[in-house]
């Protein structure tokens, strides 16, 4: 990690902070984020890859994404293809919250997060039916997962008119999973009785 940070500091000072259009780079362990205009980004990315390769660190192109908040994104798509990386338009997750261009972009991204959270819960639910002696422990793990920091943090970082519907849907789907697989009740009948 120290070797990586040394190389990143060198790239930052030579190519980002001293340019005509300065950029910003920050990192945590081996997760690196560069904020810059498209021209700076496309020139700095290969330099950064080479600098990291010199200390034995390979940048994973599969996990690298170019994020743009522009509405006309032809140049960004061309740049991402040239660098061999994916592109996200309009919104992205950063430090547990969501950065977004417009309300619809934020809602679309929250819907994706909802799907991810439910998928995680379902993966845990599968184990409740595998070994009967461990059902209680697994059930508790699912409950802890359902009250993870992510939904709570997002509800504090974004305005309520954006988070209300996605978080309500997540809560409803999670309730269905818990009732069907842990309590082993007919969730449709039970939910009907709760309303």
Is the predicted pLDDT of residue 168 greater than 60, yes or no? yes
| 0.75 exceeded by pTM | no
44, 28 Cβ separation under 8 angstroms:
no
Pairing of strands 65-68, 86-89: parallel
Of 32-36, 40-44, 130-134, 170-174, the one with minimum mean pLDDT is 130-134
Residues 6+ apart with CB under 8 A from 96: 149, 150, 153, 154, 157
CB 139 within 8 A of CB 182: yes
Q: Is the pLDDT of residue 185 over 70?
A: no
Q: What is the pLDDT of residues 59-101, one digit of tens each?
A: 899 999 999 988 888 999 999 999 999 998 888 877 667 788 8
CA 131/CA 147 separation, integer angstroms: 24
Alpha carbons 96 and 85: distance in angstroms, whole number: 22
How many other C-beta atoms can be found within 10 angstroms of the C-beta atom of residue 47?
A: 14
Residue 195's pLDDT is what? 47
Q: What is the per-residue pLDDT across 95-128, written as a single tens digit (0 to 9) for each?
A: 667 788 888 888 888 888 778 777 777 776 666 5
């Amino acid at each position: 990690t120290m070797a990586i940070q040394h190389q990143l500091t060198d790239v930052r000072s030579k190519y980002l902070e001293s340019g005509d259009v300065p950029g910003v780079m920050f990192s945590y362990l081996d997760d690196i984020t560069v904020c810059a205009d498209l021209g700076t980004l496309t020139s700095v990315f290969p330099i950064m890859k080479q600098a990291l390769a010199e200390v034995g660190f390979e940048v994973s192109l599969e996990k690298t994404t170019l994020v743009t908040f522009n509405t006309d994104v032809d140049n960004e798509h061309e740049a991402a293809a040239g660098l061999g990386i994916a592109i996200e338009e309009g919104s992205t997750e950063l430090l547990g919250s969501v950065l977004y261009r417009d309300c619809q972009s934020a809602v679309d991204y929250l819907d994706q997060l909802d799907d991810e959270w439910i998928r995680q819960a379902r993966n845990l639910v599968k184990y409740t039916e595998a070994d009967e002696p461990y059902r209680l422990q697994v059930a508790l793990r699912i409950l802890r997962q359902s009250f993870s920091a992510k939904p709570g943090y997002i509800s504090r970082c974004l305005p309520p008119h954006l988070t209300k519907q996605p978080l309500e849907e997540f809560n409803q789907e999670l309730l269905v999973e818990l009732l069907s697989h842990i309590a082993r009740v007919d969730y449709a009948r039970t939910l009907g009785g709760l309303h």
